[in-house]
Structure 1
Amino acid sequence: MTPLAVEIGARHLPGDLALVTDAVGIVLFAHGSGSSRHSPRNRFVAECLQRRGLATLLFDLLDPREAVDRSRVFDIDLLAGRVADAVAWTRCRGDVGHLDIGLFGASTGAAAALRVAAAQPEAVAAVVSRGGRPDLAGDALAQIRSPTLLIVGSEDTLLIEPHREALRRLRGEKRLEVVAGASHLFEEPGALEAVARLAGDWFAGHLGVGPRAQR
């Protein structure tokens, strides 16, 4: 991965960009509350996606001062704005701007990713949520047309019903996968590997296959 600065409005937040030869798309990671681009779970998934021919971008949604402010951590409007800026920054780059974009969100980052997909259907080709908070995406769920995969652990009991409700509200191509035996952080043996496999299949099936990829 190459360290760089991602332009987020007037800010430059740290990120890590991984390019792959003949990439079929690029996946932007939106981390959850209390996390950062250094999330070991997201980095593991990113490495798995790279082996599937996908470039990846992990970046910090908040600067260090904001990251300790709980009101910022759960400000979905703020986080969605940051993700949208990262999408715009990616589309303007000469090395990856031609690629289809996927969004991979965790926890509150998933809610932010879903809102961006609703607002920018032409820019977001697919979305994957890992242990996300789709309920925090609100009315945006019914506006999403990007293919959306929701992944939740079977032991993450507080979030299973919100995921089922979110699935009902989504109107485009959609799927809910419940990983057996997994808790919220997917720390159990084989759980994160299952997430990476599901995400890889979803992105590989939806990035690099549409009109944008043919240009």
Structure 2
Amino acid sequence: MSCTFEQHLIDETIRFHGHSCPGLAIGIRAAEAALSEMAGVGTADLVCVAETDMCGVDGIQYLTGCTYGKGNFLHRDYGKMAFAFYSRKNDKGIRLVFRPESRGELDGEMPALMAKSVEKTITGEEQERLQQLRQEMQKRLMTLPIEELFTVQQLHERAPRPAKILESLVCQDCGENTMESRTRRFSGRTLCIPCFAKVEQKV
């Protein structure tokens, strides 16, 4: 089944991200699945935990209202194409894990061409082929049924707690205010993380 978001919302999401790409399509479909599964949960109670920082997170932020600034969008740097959504209203949660096989046969050519593009060794003909493959992949990802795109896992743990306002401490090296939970102690001094990294050494 094709993506159920109205086209104007998809277009706005693309403008927000800056371009259209397969990664953004994955995020759009993840947002679609989350809003369907968590119907009735307002943006104040919805929380997303992304296990990647790829293009799709922009789609999720734009379409769900989960944002870094509100503290209800969290990034866990696990390197997985997975997104967990929680309701603080009723402790309901789901985790969507992207299914690599959903890329189908189109994924056969793309990795090598993308590597050439990054290395700037790609020919004009190959660049055209890569663009064609990306467009076909986007169309595929936007039209496959959700169950073919993601494995959906039900979560039973509580949503991550809301952000707390903590005291700021002055780093005794650079003199900048730093949130207390992000400071480090070294040789009896309170340091911010960058200043701590300058002096702390591991063998």
TM over 0.5: no
Larger radius of gyration: 2
TM-score, structure 1 as length reference = 0.27
TM-score, structure 2 as length reference = 0.28
